[in-house]
Structures are given as structure tokens and as C-alpha cells.
Structure 1
Amino acid sequence: MEELSIKIRIADREYPMKVKRSDEERVRIAGKLINEKLKSYKEQFGIDDKQDLLAMVAFDCLVDKMAAEETHQVIDQTVFEKVSQLNHIVSQSIL
């Protein structure tokens, strides 16, 4: 798998990294989204401290991730229940 050396700028600092070619676009978009959130929080709350802004973005991202995981768990449980119901119906029709 080929890796690319890229640089991502976050909060006016450049971060060199190696990423798989297939992940490059996702990594670049993530960097862009982080910077957009930083700008939004800076404007919304009037905070200039980059560490505070980065902490707020990290917290926000983790809350979003946790919410998405909870949603996926609900979907997974619903799918499992529906498959179980279908299996039961199929089993009943075979008999």
C-alpha cells in the first residue's frame, strides 16, 4: 500500500504525516473541517487562545462521535430484531 507524505495545517501549525493514498482526501477534509470549527468557535465565543479552541473542537468531535455510535447501536439492534423475526417466520413456514 503506497503512503504519501503530506502536510496538514491546523490552527496555524503545520503537521507532516504519512497517509495511505486512499485516506488522503479524508485526512485533508478532516483538517479543513477542524479549521472551520476553530474559526467558528473563535468568532462565536471571542476566544483567541488556540489551546482552548482546540480543546473545544476535540470535545465537540467526541460528542458527535459518541452520538453517531449510539445511533449505529440502535440501528444494529433494530436490524438484528428484524432478521430474527424473518428467521422465525421462515422457520414457521417450513414446518
Structure 2
Amino acid sequence: MDELSIRIKIADREYPMKVKVEDEARVRRAGKQINERIRSYREQFGIDDKQDLLAMVAFDCLVDKMESDEKQHNIDDSVVDKVKQLNNLINQSL
């Protein structure tokens, strides 16, 4: 398993980390998106405190994750229902 040592800058602070080669692009994109959200909140709300900005970004990210999880759960339930319907149709035709 190959790992890279990289540095990600978030809110003007660098964080060293080791990531798998295949995860590097995703980790760098995540850092970029965090910084973009920080910049957006700073401009939108006029907040300069980095701790407040990071808390807002963390909260926003968790809300997005929860929404995504709920959508995935609904899709999973829908797929299970369709498979049951198909099984019933197959069983009726046998």
C-alpha cells in the first residue's frame, strides 16, 4: 500500500498527512472545498473568526452528509421494494 506525505492548507494553516495514492486527489479536493466554503461564509456573513468559520463549515458538511445518507437510504428502500415486486411477479408466473 503506497502512501504519500502531503500538506493540506485549511484556513491559512497547514496540516501534514499521509494518504493512499488513490485518495490524494479526493483529499486535495476536500481541502479546496473547505477553503471555498470558508471564503464564501467570510464574504457572505462578514465573519473573520476562523473557529466560527470552521464550525459553520463543519456543520454545513454534516447537514449535507446527512441529506445524502437519507437519499441513499430512500434509494436503497426503493430498490428493495422493486426487487420484491419482481420476485412476486416471477413467483406468480411459475
Q: TM-score, normalised by structure 1?
A: 0.98
In structure 1, the gaps of 5 or more residues are none
RMSD: 0.4
1:1-44 C-alpha deviation (Å, 9 max, x unpaired): 10000000000000000000000000000000000000000000
Determine if the alignment matches structure 1 residue 57 to structure 2 residue 44: no
Distance 2:77 2:38 in 1: 36
Instruction: Provide the rounded CA distance (Å) in 2 between the counterparts of 1:32 and 1:4.
Output: 18
Q: TM-score, normalization: structure 2? A: 0.99
Deviations 1:45-94 (A, max 9, x none): 00000000000000000000000000011100000000000011011111
Match of 1:11 in 2: 11
For structure 2, list consecutive stretches of 5 or more residues without a partner in the other structure. Answer: none
Count residues in correspondence: 94
Residue of structure 1 in register with 2:80 after alignment? 80
* AA of the residue aligned to 2:21: R
Identity %: 69
Q: What amino acid maps onto 2:5 in structure 1?
A: S
